[in-house]
Structure 1
Amino acid sequence: MKKLFIMLLTAFVFAVVNPTKSEAKVMYDGAEVVKGQTGKMTFKKDIKVYKKNPNGSFDSLVVKRNNFFKTYDIEKYDGKTFYQMGQYRVQATDLVVFKEVPIEIRSSFYNDPIYININRDNGMGSYGYYFLRYQLTFLDNGYVDHCFSDGDEGTDCDRYLGTDFKITERIEREYGMRYEISKNAEGKGVPLKESKTEKIMEKGSIVFAKGLEINGYLNVGIEGNDQEYFWVPVNLLKPVGDK
């Protein structure tokens, strides 16, 4: 009994001296913000939203007026904007009230953030093009500038909305590391799932890393072809040894 008491006392003292560390919550506009969140939205009246199942069928959910919902990925094309609310996709309309989380707060969740342009309608920069933090200037009005030297004409800037960017972690991978593709994979021209598939990469193909992983995609080259490179889902790549 005495031995048990000593063990419990030791555990208590350790817990007091070394309390469990918990990361501070990130708050904005009276609510907690989480990693990957782009904003929050409410609806002006009860409305039905939908999600598409893998078999092509749809499930619906009725969301109540004035209830807050976190939004994550955003798609912009053909003059339309779509918000991802969990598994449900919602088109921006007059019934949707969206409030953006400032890009500075969104960036704070990443050690080495990279910014991917997700606006297909933005003619100033190609869809899927990415920027490093030092290449961008965050403005107080929610806009973001990318400025660059225009030769003898000085400096020129392109201006984006903060919501034009998907933020993700920049990860360096060993250049030349060889991988086998574990199942047929869609080779993308940019590291975005929604982007056009440029090439079907066949199961068993051997590729090599070109050094950068973004948004769950690794930039790879094809052995024997120095001209082609694609973005392939990391979870479909299996490391293999040297030749």
Structure 2
Amino acid sequence: MKKLFIGLLAAFIFVVVNPTKSEAKVMYDGAEVVKGQTGKMTFKKDIKVYKRNPDGSFDSLVVKRNNFFKTYDIEKYDGKIFYQMRQYRVQATDLVVFKEVPIKIRSSFYNNPTYIYFNRDGITNNYGSYFREQDQWYISFSDTNNGQKLNYCAADNDGTYDPCIYYLGTDLKIAETISRESNVRYELTKDAGGKSTPLNGAKTETMYAKGNTFSSHGTEINGYLEVLSESDPKSYTWLPVDLLKPVK
């Protein structure tokens, strides 16, 4: 019994001296923020929202007035805005109250973030453009009356022009930049389209048939790997990582 008591005492002291490490929660506007979240919504009255199933049918859910819901992806096109509540998609109307999580907070969840522009209403037609801090470019954040902006600025500025490009936080998707070994050879396991930017909705530039081989450039973003086609080595393209297998 004495040995058992001594053992339990030692275990208790170890736990107190070496507590289990836990990550602090990220809080904003009185609520916890999670990775991938763009904001939160409330509704001015009870409304019904819908999700589309793979078979084309729809499921509905009644959301209650004044309840908070986390929002994730945002779509902007044809003058309309849609918010994604996990599987459910909600169009912005007078009944929807959306509050943005500042992009500076959103980016804090990532070690090496890449920012992808996904507003298809943009007058510059740069849907899918992506950027990160590198070489002579740096990133900062600023608050405006219309939400927080990201400033993408060139460092080599002589003071005669504005060196920055400005983006609204709600126009940007954030993805982790993952370094992979370069010059690794891969084979395509299924026909797929190569894209100029690592984004599902981006335009396909070149179709590649199953069995084509590629060489990795060493960067993975948003589920896409930057590769060079061995049959047409003119420029790099982005292909889905899950459709590429290493070859000897």
Q: Residues 24 and 150 (structure 1 numbering): CA distance in 2 closer, same or farther, change over 3 Å?
A: closer
Aligned partner of residue 234 in structure 2, secondary structure: strand
Residue of structure 2 in register with 1:224 after alignment: 231
Residues 1:70 and 2:73 are matched in the alignment: no
Residue of structure 1 in register with 2:51 after alignment: 51
1:144 to 139, 142, 150: 150
Give 1:111 deviation, angstroms.
Answer: 0.9
Query: When the two structures are superposed, what TM-score results if normalisation uses the length of structure 1?
Result: 0.89
Residue of structure 2 in register with 1:183 after alignment: 190
Give 1:215 deviation, angstroms.
Answer: 0.9
Would the aligned equivalents of 1:73 and 1:83 in 2 still touch at CA under 8 Å? yes
Residue of structure 1 in register with 2:247 after alignment: 240
Inter-partner Cα distance in structure 1 for 2:42 and 2:178 = 35
Would the aligned equivalents of 1:211 and 1:219 in 2 still touch at CA under 8 Å? yes
Q: How many residues get paired?
A: 241
Give 1:195 deviation, angstroms.
Answer: 2.2
Residue of structure 2 in register with 1:112 after alignment: 112
- 2:92 maps to a residue whose letter is A
Aligned partner of residue 226 in structure 1, secondary structure: coil
Give 1:228 deviation, angstroms.
Answer: 4.6
Give 1:184 deviation, angstroms.
Answer: 3.4
Inter-partner Cα distance in structure 1 for 2:206 and 2:66 = 44
1:38-93 CA distance string (max 9 Å, x none):
00011111111111111222111111111100011111111111111011111111
1:127-183 CA distance string (max 9 Å, x none):
111121453331121123334479996335433211111111111222221112233
Aligned pairs for 1:70-219 (under 5 A) are 70-124=70-124, 126-133=126-133, 135-141=138-144, 142-148=148-154, 154-219=161-226
Aligned partner of residue 106 in structure 2, secondary structure: helix
Inter-partner Cα distance in structure 2 for 1:178 and 1:130 = 25
Inter-partner Cα distance in structure 2 for 1:2 and 1:199 = 75
- 2:195 maps to a residue whose letter is K
Query: When the two structures are superposed, what TM-score results if normalisation uses the length of structure 2?
Result: 0.87
Would the aligned equivalents of 1:117 and 1:125 in 2 still touch at CA under 8 Å? no
Inter-partner Cα distance in structure 2 for 1:173 and 1:110 = 17
Inter-partner Cα distance in structure 1 for 2:91 and 2:194 = 28
Q: Identical aligned pairs, as a percentage?
A: 66
More displaced, 117-126 or 24-33?
117-126
Residue of structure 1 in register with 2:9 after alignment: 9
Inter-partner Cα distance in structure 2 for 1:186 and 1:68 = 39
Inter-partner Cα distance in structure 2 for 1:6 and 1:201 = 67
User: Unaligned 5+ residue runs, structure 2?
Assistant: none
Inter-partner Cα distance in structure 2 for 1:123 and 1:150 = 25
Residues 1:26 and 2:14 are matched in the alignment: no
Give 1:199 deviation, angstroms.
Answer: 3.9
Inter-partner Cα distance in structure 1 for 2:210 and 2:27 = 45
